[in-house]
Amino acid sequence: MRAYFSVFRMRLKMELQYRGAMIGGIICQMFFGIVLVALYHALYESKAQAMPIEQVSTYVWLQQAFFRMMVATDPDLNDKIKNGSISYDMGRPVNLYWFYYIRVAAQKLMGSLMRGIPMMIVAFLLPKGWGMSLPTSVSGLCSGLVALFLGLLCMCALENITMAFTMRTLDPRGMQSLLNLLMVTLSGNLLPLTLFPDSWQKVITMLPYAQLLDAPIRLYSGEYPVSDMPVVLLRQAGWAAVLILLGIWMWESNRKKMIIQGG
Amino acid sequence: MLNTFHLYIRSMGMLLRSHLQYPASFIMQTLAQLVMEGGEMLAVILVIDRFENLKQWSGSNLFFFFGLMSVSFYITEFFGRGITGNFPSMVRNGQLDTLLLRPRGVLTQVLCSGVDPRRITCIAVGVTAMIMGSNMSDVSWSFLKVLALIESVLTSCMLILGLFMIEGIFCIHSVKSVELVNALTYGGRSACQYPIDIYPRPLKILFSVVAPFALTMHVPAAYILDKPLYGWPTWTVFVTPLSGVAVLFIMSMLFNRGIKFYRSTGS
Amino acid sequence: MSYIEVEGLRKTFTVRKKREKGKLFREKEIVEALKGISFTVEKGELVGYIGPNGAGKSTTVKILSGILTPESGKALVGGRVPWKDRKDYVKHIGVVFGQRSQLWWDVPIIDSFSLLKDIYKIPEKDYKTRLSELTEALQLENLMRTPLRLLSLGQKMRAELCGSLLHRPELLFLDEPTIGLDAVSKLALRDFLKWENKEHGTTIMLTTHDMEDIAALCSRVMVLGHGQKLFDGHLNDLLEKFDTVRTVSVKYDTSTPTLNLPDGVKADQKDGEIHITYSPSELPTANMLSILQNAGNIREMTLESENIDHLIAAMYKEMDL
């Protein structure tokens, strides 16, 4: 257990080192956020929606704040797979899946906290309808946090599945960009899921990608009422379990393949 | 000048051949690009589906704007990969020294160092969107409008190239917060693929003065779509895009100034 | 007037030190890489430029190749100032880095050469003549269609040399050219450099840690340390000055010879062979030999030639480098 804590602490130290680059990144992402919110304001002027603009704005800011959590990946693992040395690691009787799971979790968590928290603070200070709103209720906030944690579990599981694919294919770049696109679109980052056609939303919210950030955000803002909370959290947990099991199975089959082929 | 162009063509030819050495991988990646750009276009389609109009601009107008930005941006990334993608790593791994050892300008060599043929599908998506947009908006094409379109794309490419140069200049001067430039380049793309007059004042000023997409893209597009030009005479449509040329010119000077700096301080 | 004239070259770098605890900004430190270097080189010379890491060797090369501008001092190469009018100056020099390539990675080397022809604006006829001459001298005929990334280290270096000599530079800088090469490739490379120097009168300046390169190629060597020139002359003079340690190996008929070695002289025994390390300045070799002969019947004896690396290491030590 202590080993896992140290992974997180080490990651935090590394993130702190690159302060200068981080500030540039925060400003850049805040700019994206402002542009998106401005766009939705202009759209709402033509045709107001059932969902108030404040909620859309909150949605956008939360997506931007935790963007890094979604996309952060482990460069070391990527390198290892590229140059083939992963096969040595796989040969050892150590549980690699969880090792890299925890590592990428540390990267996702620490990276997004460092950037997300300053962004959210600034977003709170923006005028109403342009920034982030406070949660509608305490239970909304709490369930949102729990959902965020479950979302993180799903993100790491998805990342490990992508890595499993990378291990199998000779040239993973095409596959990686496709999976990346799926994630960015269906998680609500490119366009808030709440603005998708209503018929589509019924399906999309069932998919694993909606469990990453869309679910926590909707709980936070009260879009999902408190009564829906158990269902939403259960859905997230269910997907987390499925994705983790799928990932473990894929890693295990990769491992067997590598042992037979000898790397 | 002609000699430089000849060198560029030859470099491009050589690089393209090396990219196409692995056809399978190339096709896969190009298709992936197609899907990704298709995803961006999907976002626009969904927005139009829900909101129908964006202030005074119709949904079909938005397709046109989207297409115009895509075409310009991805043509720049296709032909200008040296600046848009390669240069930062060149500075980091010392390849810049190798360039300084050759009897050619650094900027020339950087431009000749990269091509991104995968963007061809993104350009295709952009062209499709433009055609869709102009058809659905019932645009009546004239010689002047075609001219405006060509000028808009060319000057926007120059603008985008100039903006990417800022990243290179930052790298030379070892500025830590290089990511800031992404706000102008990729942020500019995301923002200005929609008409710029919908945005609040500060953003309008940013995209008219600092990264003048409003001048290179919005004004010609408004003219082509027969939208009011804020009371300006028609000839301004052909003058405002020159701001893109100005940006490229200024950035080139700053870039060369940066190389002088690099030569006095070393890596 | 000499071909290369360097006088009082100075170069300082501002380096950011590691961030100290409690301080917000990194402190800046000024490092003097070159503290006033002066030397001359005649046309057609083959000069070695050695020194420990950080001595300023690559800084000198960068300045003389026009990449870097010095703080103060003068330099003229063939009557030109290297850092002025870079594009014109660079036409006359060639540089080969041992660890970095200037050819294109994924592309057949013939295409790289062809592009270099365009970059250097070499006339077609000159290009053809020069290319065939270099191809033959470097044995590249069968490799022309191969991309750089598929070549072995030795082949890469040959391609590299070809690329940097296509435009017939008057002056060639080589930075660690034999690093990582096998013995055969090293010898071939040295032969080629000797040939190029003799055939075309190309002035060559060689920076290396490999003393065998220097011994084989350069009659003249300059030693650099802490940004200053510490030695400039013939390699033999340098070696004699620091010939501090020699080794002799002896095999005797009997297993325990009685050696009357003076104090401070070490003798190691291994597999029936005795290795003795001594300092000729303290104990002349003739005296050592007589001690060995008096100890017993010598079956075999080898007097090892000076190990240049040992000499150089001792020299660095003495010069406090």
Q: Are strands C72-77 and C246-252 parallel, antiparallel or unpaired?
A: unpaired
Closest CA to B171 of B104, B86, B105, B80: B86
Residue with tokens 């692995």: B22
Tokens standing for residue C147: 């991309």
Question: What's the sign of the alpha-carbon dihedral C274, C280, C285, C287?
Answer: negative
Instruction: Name the strands in the sheet holding C4-16, side by side, starting at the edge strand that comes first in the sequence.
Output: C28-41, C4-16, C72-77
**B interface test, pick of C90, C101, C119, C176 with most B CB neighbours within 10 Å:** C119
Q: Is B144 on the interface with A (CB under 8 A)?
A: no
Across the interface, do A28 and B55 touch by the CB < 8 Å criterion? no
Residue with tokens 């050589």: B14
Q: What is the pLDDT along chain B (267 residues), one digit of tens a residue?
A: 888 999 999 999 999 998 888 888 888 889 888 988 998 899 999 999 999 888 889 999 999 999 999 999 999 999 999 999 899 889 888 899 999 999 999 999 999 999 999 999 999 999 999 999 999 999 999 999 999 999 999 999 999 999 999 999 999 998 888 888 999 999 999 999 999 999 999 999 999 999 999 999 999 999 999 888 888 888 889 999 999 999 999 999 999 999 999 998 876
Answer yes or no: do C272 and C183 share one domain.
no
Query: What is the CB-side half-sphere exposure of residue A237 using CA atoms within 13 A?
Result: 8
Answer yes or no: do C89 and C232 share one domain.
yes
Q: Is pLDDT at A223 greater than 50 in this prediction?
A: yes
Has residue C312 been placed in a domain? Answer: no
Core vs surface per residue C277-308: b (16+ CB within 10 A) or e: ebeeeebeeeebeebbeebbeeeeeeeeebeb
Long-range residue pairs from B180-188, CB within 8 A, at least 24 positions apart, any chain: B180/A24, B180/A27, B180/A28, B182/A28, B183/A27, B183/A28, B183/A31, B183/A32, B184/B210, B184/B211, B185/B84, B185/B160, B187/A28, B187/A31, B187/A32, B187/A35, B188/B160, B188/B163, B188/B213
Q: How far apart are CA B143 and CA B149, in angstroms?
A: 10
Q: Are B88 and B167 in contact (CB under 8 A)?
A: yes
Instruction: Name the strands in the sheet holding C171-175, side by side, starting at the edge strand that comes first in the sequence.
Output: C93-97, C171-175, C203-207, C46-50, C220-225, C228-234
Q: How far apart are CA B33 and CA B37, in angstroms?
A: 6
Instruction: Please report residues of B whose CB lies closer than 8 A to that of A42.
Output: 54-55, 194, 198-199
Answer yes or no: do C153 and C287 share one domain.
no
Question: Percent helix, strand and coil across chain C, each rounded to 5?
Answer: 35, 30, 35
Task: Work out how many domains chain A is built from and give that number.
Answer: 1
Task: Work out how many domains chain C is built from and give that number.
Answer: 2
Tokens standing for residue B53: 């109009």
Res B131: pLDDT: 95
**pLDDT (tens digit per residue) in A9-67:** 887 777 777 777 888 888 999 999 999 999 999 999 888 878 888 889 999 999 999 99
Res C311: pLDDT: 67
Has residue C274 been placed in a domain? Answer: yes
Has residue C281 been placed in a domain? Answer: yes
Instruction: Please report residues of B whose CB lies closer than 8 A to that of C66.
Output: 100-101
Instruction: Please report residues of C whose CB lies closer than 8 A to that of B10.
Output: 114-115, 118
Helix count (H) and strand count (E) of chain B? 15, 2
Chain A: which residues have CB within 8 Å of chain B? Answer: 18-21, 23-25, 27-28, 31-32, 34-36, 38-39, 41-47, 49, 170-171, 173-175, 177-178, 181, 184-185, 190-191, 195-197
Closest CA to C63 of A138, B263, B82, A154: B263
Say which residues have a Cβ less than 8 Å from residue A69's Cβ, sequence separation at least 6: A108, A109, A111, A112, A116, A151, A152, A155, A213
Tokens standing for residue A123: 């977003």
Res C276: pLDDT: 81
Across the interface, do B101 and C121 touch by the CB < 8 Å criterion? no
Q: Are A119 and A33 in contact (CB under 8 A)?
A: yes
Mean pLDDT, rounded, for A164-190: 83
Residue with tokens 């060509």: B150
Q: Which one-letter DSSP state was computed for residue A262?
A: T
Q: Which chains touch B (3 or more CB pairs under 8 A)?
A: A, C
Instruction: Please report residues of C whose CB lies closer than 8 A to that of B18.
Output: 104, 106-107, 147
Q: Are strands C273-278 and C246-252 parallel, antiparallel or unpaired?
A: antiparallel
Q: Is A165 exposed, middle or buried (0-12, 13-18, 19+ CB in 10 A)?
A: middle
Residue with tokens 């102009």: B134
Res A114: pLDDT: 87
Question: Which DSSP helix (H) or strand (E) runs through B200?
Answer: none
Answer yes or no: do C69 and C158 share one domain.
yes
Which residue range forms the structural domain that includes residue A134?
A: 2-261
Across the interface, do A191 and B43 touch by the CB < 8 Å criterion? yes
Q: How far apart are CA A183 and CA A240, in angstroms?
A: 15
Closest CA to A21 of B175, B166, B90, C26: B175
Nearest to B101 among C13, C65, C83 (CB): C65
Q: How far apart are CA A42 and CA B55, in angstroms?
A: 7
Question: Which DSSP helix (H) or strand (E) runs through C266?
Answer: strand C266-270
Backbone angles phi, psi at C206, to 5 degrees: -110, 120
Cα R_g (chain B), whole angstroms:
19
Q: How far apart are CA C7 and CA B29, in angstroms?
A: 55
Q: How far apart are the first and last CA of chain C?
A: 33
**B interface test, pick of C12, C86, C170 with most B CB neighbours within 10 Å:** C86
Core vs surface per residue A45-65: b (16+ CB within 10 A) or e: eeeeeeeebebbbbbbbbbbb
Across the interface, do A35 and B50 touch by the CB < 8 Å criterion? no
CA-based nearest residue in chain A for residue B200: A38
Q: Are B8 and B111 in contact (CB under 8 A)?
A: yes
Q: Which chains touch A (3 or more CB pairs under 8 A)?
A: B
Answer yes or no: do C124 and C197 share one domain.
yes
Q: Are B16 and B117 in contact (CB under 8 A)?
A: yes
Across the interface, do B33 and A177 touch by the CB < 8 Å criterion? yes
Instruction: Tell me how far CA of residue A230 lies from CA of B122, C36, C85, C180, C270, in angstroms.
Output: 43, 77, 73, 64, 79
CA-based nearest residue in chain C for residue B105: C87
Nearest to C67 among B100, B103, B104 (CB): B100
B143-172 vs B59-79: helix crossing angle, rounded to 10:
50
Say which residues have a Cβ less than 8 Å from residue B71's Cβ, sequence separation at least 6: B123, B126, B127, B130, B153
Domain termination site, one of C218, C240, C262: C240
Res C119: pLDDT: 95
Res C15: pLDDT: 79
Has residue C319 been placed in a domain? Answer: no
Instruction: Please report residues of B whose CB lies closer than 8 A to that of A41.
Output: 200
- State percent of chain A over pLDDT 90: 33
Across the interface, do B3 and C121 touch by the CB < 8 Å criterion? yes
Across the interface, do B17 and C107 touch by the CB < 8 Å criterion? yes
Across the interface, do C119 and B104 touch by the CB < 8 Å criterion? yes
Has residue C315 been placed in a domain? Answer: no
Has residue C112 been placed in a domain? Answer: yes
Answer yes or no: do C164 and C275 share one domain.
no
Say which residues have a Cβ less than 8 Å from residue C278's Cβ, sequence separation at least 6: C245, C246, C248, C265, C266, C288
Determine the 3-state secondary structure of C279 from DSSP.
coil
Answer yes or no: do C220 and C158 share one domain.
yes
* Strand ranges in C17-60 using DSSP code E only, listed in sequence order: 28-41, 46-50
Report pTM.
0.86
In the beta sheet, which residues pair with residue C203? C171
Q: Are A151 and A211 in contact (CB under 8 A)?
A: yes
Which residue range forms the structural domain that includes residue C285?
A: 244-305
Q: Is pLDDT at A263 greater than 60 in this prediction?
A: no
Q: How far apart are CA C302 and CA B78, in angstroms?
A: 67
In the beta sheet, which residues pair with residue C173? C95, C205
**B interface test, pick of A29, A30, A34 with most B CB neighbours within 10 Å:** A34
Answer yes or no: do C105 and C146 share one domain.
yes
Domain ranges of chain B: 20-265
Q: Is B7 on the interface with C (CB under 8 A)?
A: yes
Has residue C18 been placed in a domain? Answer: yes
Across the interface, do C87 and B11 touch by the CB < 8 Å criterion? no
Report the Cα A89 to chain-centroid distance in Å.
27
Instruction: Please report residues of B whose CB lies closer than 8 A to that of C84.
Output: none
What residue ranges of chain C have pLDDT lower than 70? Answer: 17-26, 242-245, 255, 264, 281, 304-311, 321
Q: Which one-letter DSSP state was computed for residue C26?
A: P
Q: Are strands C72-77 and B57-58 parallel, antiparallel or unpaired?
A: unpaired
Closest CA to C221 of C289, C153, C315, C136: C315
Tokens standing for residue C162: 């070809």
Q: Are C112 and C155 in contact (CB under 8 A)?
A: no
CA-based nearest residue in chain B for residue A173: B29
Helix count (H) and strand count (E) of chain C? 10, 13
Instruction: Please report residues of A whose CB lies closer than 8 A to that of B203.
Output: 34-35, 38
Determine the 3-state secondary structure of A43 from DSSP.
helix
Res C244: pLDDT: 63
Instruction: Tell me how far CA of residue B220 lies from CA of B71, B154, B213, in angstroms.
Output: 15, 12, 10
Question: What's the sign of the alpha-carbon dihedral C211, C212, C217, C218?
Answer: positive
Q: Which chains touch C (3 or more CB pairs under 8 A)?
A: B
Instruction: Tell me how far CA of residue C191 lies from CA of C134, C137, C154, C213, in angstroms.
Output: 13, 10, 14, 11
Length of chain B: 267
